[in-house]
Structure 1
Amino acid sequence: MNKRVILKQRPDGIPKKEDFEVRIDALQLPLKQGEILVKVEWISADPAQLVWISGVKSYMPPVRIGDTVRAFGVGLIVNSHAAGFKVGTYVSGLLGWQEYCKVHVSKVEKIPMNVNPTLFLGIFGMTGFTSYIAIKVLGKIKKKQVVVVSTAAGAVGSVAVQIAKAEGCKVIGITGTASKIQWLKDIGISDVINYKTENVASSLKTLCPEGIDLYLDNVGGEMLDAVLLNAKKGARMILCGAIQSYGQKKAQPLYLYPLVISKSLKMKGFIVTDYQNKFDEGFRYLESLYKQGNLKYKEDVVDGLENAHTALQKLARGQNDGKMLIKVLHEAPKL
């Protein structure tokens, strides 16, 4: 049997428990050629899921009502009809909120057995690749440049600030709680702005009076406006997320967009899966930083599929303390 969580209704604002439903169904066996059965162990909770379940058209189609909630996960192959994918191998992919996932091997990636599998949902997964693409590939940072990152203590943000620091940049992180400020200081980011208690535009002017070279935006709205005020001529704005608008009926407005023209700014939005040709070099880079002790991470874990919705709630409220994960607690399987 397979326990899974389906989308029962579209959330109105921050997702609630009532928006989801736990179901237990028979496993869809036997496997076809090229398919594997994965025992899902860990599931990633990401801001993108807030968009996927909202019904808003995006780079991926919305999760349909009645479907298993879409999510990246890692798990162990327990049955295989695919050459080269042995039982006992760990894989990652869009496995969803469920205990078991029947999937074609073209939709998953093998991951090493000697590494903590949750790292492939975090610093060695889409989280890490997003940061690498934003800062290195698109941001094209250079030593001593000023780099500002919003949601800097989050999964993507915390990797991004560490990449920029390793490249010799002056790094400014923006976050919203004392504990997150301390975490950033613990990983070597001394210049941190608390957007809940400070005026972001004024604090940026104090910390970088000559202006900002690169900004990684995960928020949008008024925070992006504050950065535009302090951007150097020709600065790069890499748009990764817009958490301030997720779950809202209207996106937060951007008032100072004329500065993009007058300052000759470059603004670039991106979806990480459009850069899969950069994943191998990104992994090598991130692995090197990790082995050197220059890439640290935190995980915030919710136990059980029944509580998976709380992971999205914490993300939406900015209450997560590190990479948000859901641990799948398996009952005795009935295959």
Structure 2
Amino acid sequence: MDFVKKHLPDPFYQEEDKRISLRNKIFRETVVNILIHREFINPYPAKMIIEENFVLFENASKPHGFGKLTPESFSPFPKNPNIAKIFREIGLAEEMGSGVRNLFKYSKIYSGFEPEIEEGDIFKVVIRVPIKKENIPQVPPQDTPQAEELSKREIAILDFCKIPRSADEIGKFINIKDRKHLRNSILKPLLEKKLLKLTIPDKPNSPKQKYLYEGKAFITPHTSPQVSPQATPQATPQDTPQAEKLSEREMAILDFCKIPRSADEIGKFINIKDRKHLRNSILKPLLEKKLLKLTIPDKPTSSKQKYLSALKEIKNNE
């Protein structure tokens, strides 16, 4: 926990009349979970990797199920009940199942994003980190005069809309289900400030309408695909000969794949449903350029195959 305190922010938060450390709540819960639920006969090491905008935990597990976990789909299952009992006795664990509920509750307050929890032979948790002001490029007044008034959510929306997005996609991204509230209170102000634009301006109510941001890039907890050269030097021409040919979508995919992602996950991220088109026209060129790599290279068609960005690896090898 001392390592966490040293490297991660802890924004002020108060419940009733008492201050609560969101950072300690979230990361103590996650570390305790790793210790309680670990499959100890598996040699795979437990990991906590702190990146710029997120923290990744990986842990060997004996899965009770497979796939994404949510508070609604989660079913508590004691993998190491004796260890769990000891942690409850010393006050580091509460009732069974409370950990996941607390993780979702406090992560949303901490960074504005819910955690990503995936159960499998390797249990994975991704926790977003709040944006640090020094990491957000200042947009010159002539580009966006209202930039200094933007909230973290608005910055996240603009970064998300570097690829045209529908209102439904934006609503899911920021977890807003009320379409009227989304359009009138969130998207309309960004359109009025000329930060977002309509892809079909002559038909604002078209069912095919999408929203696009063409200004300078922001760094957000969710993505940072189009940041400036000093923020991601590995994407500059001298680091990767093919970088100058990359589209914004390809850059977004590479940033998304800093964590291993399946083809289905990538397809959903860039809104491509045709799996053959996705593999042959989008993923295959990135693999050929050695900008993406397979997690199971000996079995390219494996159902467990995932894709991992190789930009950082390329930079380190040069």
TM-score, length-scaled by structure 2: 0.28
Richer in helix (by share): 2
Richer in strand (by share): 1
